[in-house]
Amino acid sequence: MRRHERGRRVLRRAVRVLTLAAGLAGGLVLALLLAGVLATWFITLRIEARYPPAGHRVPVEGGHLAVLEAGPGEGAPSRGTVVLLHGASANAMDPMQAIGRRLAGDGFRVLAFDRPGFGWSDRIAPDAASPAVQARLVSEALAALHVGPALVVGHSWSGALATAMALDHPERVSGLALLAPVSHPWPGGAVPGYAGWYRSRPGRLLLWIATRTIAAPLGLYYLDRFAEVVFRPQGLPAGYVDGARVPLVLRPGTFSANLRDLDGLYAFLAGQSARYREIAVPTVIVAGDADPVVRTPVHAEALARAVPGARLVVLPGIGHMLHYTATDAVVGEIEGLAARQRAAAE
């Protein structure tokens, strides 16, 4: 009996110790989460103070899209209107800084849009992750600005967006310049290790918590390294992260929008890629043969075969950020496309 009583006392003590440890661990987790929330709040305030709105906002159904503008204004003589659409993890300043101001200096009216949920644009629609929905919203904004048809330039993720505009809103598109475009379902399916758990309820909850606690602090710490990976095999240009306002993507709403856009892209392209033969505007596709992010044979080369009359330019040794690392070639192709359009019209 005494042995059993001693055993029960030991068991009760063990339970008390485990309960205390669990309480301490729970308190530590709660404290860490609270610290993450406060850090994210502070980082978001600092980012938005450093990178305030730089252009103007255009009303569309359900909200506003932000746009940067350069070159001759509405009604002034120009060589035409060029619309710049940025890729994932970016905003309108990315293409504007790389090629927009150069095109504006050459006489083009340039409009660079923050895609829905990015930069200073509203997310607007619950289904805004779809390139088709974003194409509708950008087309609405162009109509509000009395623009169209325009030469539409789409980089990376916006290869899907620009082609969706040409297919669904052809009255707004006079030509396509697609830079390292995502255009087709890729081998291996959706984003590895991400899409499967993200769609589950626990996954969505964990992602919601992460975007409001650890994503901004960790992202800020590793931002230069992430940018270096995207620029490979070329080096990261000095001042790129700050000049292109890349930290804006770390805000919780934008971070979540970015992940949702990437998650839905594969399924969208599985449907849209069968329609590329319907694109009826002059198209130039520029890609690098050393792009480690969007594989040129899978996307750019396949797209060039599908779009009637498309011109394909593959730049040797160039990676994904070709609008920065091969600016002369990219601007030359855009201006050449505009010149061919003018000649055909005349």
Do residues 67 and 55 make contact, with C-beta atoms less than 8 angstroms apart? yes
pLDDT score, position 192: 45
Span 114-137, mean pLDDT?
97
Q: Which of 28-37, 156-165, 258-267 has the lowest mean pLDDT?
A: 28-37
Residues 256 and 46: their CA atoms lie apart, in Å, by 19
Instruction: Specify the fold of 56-191+222-345.
Output: Rossmann fold (3.40.50)
Q: Is the pLDDT of residue 119 over 70?
A: yes
Q: Which of 39-43, 234-238, 303-307, 314-318 has the lowest mean pLDDT?
A: 39-43
pLDDT score, position 210: 86
Do residues 95 and 334 make contact, with C-beta atoms less than 8 angstroms apart? no
Q: Is the pLDDT of residue 18 over 50?
A: no
Mean per-residue pLDDT over the chain, rounded: 90
**Band of pLDDT at residue 206, cut at 50, 70 and 90:** confident
pTM, two decimal places: 0.90
Residue, of 13 and 36, whose pLDDT is higher: 36
**Band of pLDDT at residue 5, cut at 50, 70 and 90:** low
pLDDT score, position 209: 84
pLDDT, tens digit, 9 for 90 and up, residues 142-182: 999 999 799 999 999 999 999 999 999 999 999 999 999 99
Residue, of 15 and 49, whose pLDDT is higher: 49
Span 247-256, mean pLDDT?
96
Whole-number percent of the chain with pLDDT over 90: 75
pLDDT score, position 99: 98
Q: Is the pLDDT of residue 22 over 90?
A: no
Q: Is the pLDDT of residue 4 over 80?
A: no
**Band of pLDDT at residue 26, cut at 50, 70 and 90:** low
pLDDT, tens digit, 9 for 90 and up, residues 280-321: 999 999 999 999 999 999 999 999 999 999 999 999 999 999
Span 83-111, mean pLDDT?
97
Domain range annotation of the chain = 56-191+222-345
Span 207-222, mean pLDDT?
89
